[in-house]
Amino acid sequence: MMQPVGSHSSIVTILVAVLAIVGCGQSPAAPRAVEVVALSPSSGPVGTSVQITGSGFESSKNVVKFGAGYIGDVTSPDGTMLRFTVPARLDLCPPADLQSNAPCGDSIPAVRAGAYPVSVVTRNGATRELTFRVTG
């Protein structure tokens, strides 16, 4: 029985497409879970340099969520440590990297004494919150 011209190449094309979609038995590397373990110090006035210890941080473009505000493009030298400075004002607009549809207010509220939840957001997700207490 004669096969129509091109039928063999069609099967090969379909097979290649299926392998491209399904893969060749290799699973992609799972993204590293991001977590925070500690803030040091855990309290201080505006302007305090705070170290976040954890794991799964990106080398750049980490975002620290401080209260209702965002501190963008925080770098990590080793994936386990970040450093940020307690801001005098909260930037309520999420960085473009987050591709968030969160509303962005016109106000930039001052940071006052009190407890602020702190978390880290990367392309692999967000961490649990730890508390930083602003003094003074």
Domain residue extents for the chain:
35-134
Across the beta sheet with 81-85, the strand order is 35-40, 49-55, 81-85
pLDDT of residue 7: 52
Q: What confidence tens digit (pLDDT) does each residue in 33-90 have?
A: 899 999 999 999 999 999 999 999 999 999 999 999 999 999 999 999 999 999 999 9
pLDDT of residue 104: 75
pLDDT of residue 21: 43
Tell which residue, 58, 61, 81, has the closest CA to residue 71.
61
> What is the value of pTM for the model shown?
0.74
Q: What is the CATH number of domain 35-134?
A: 2.60.40.10
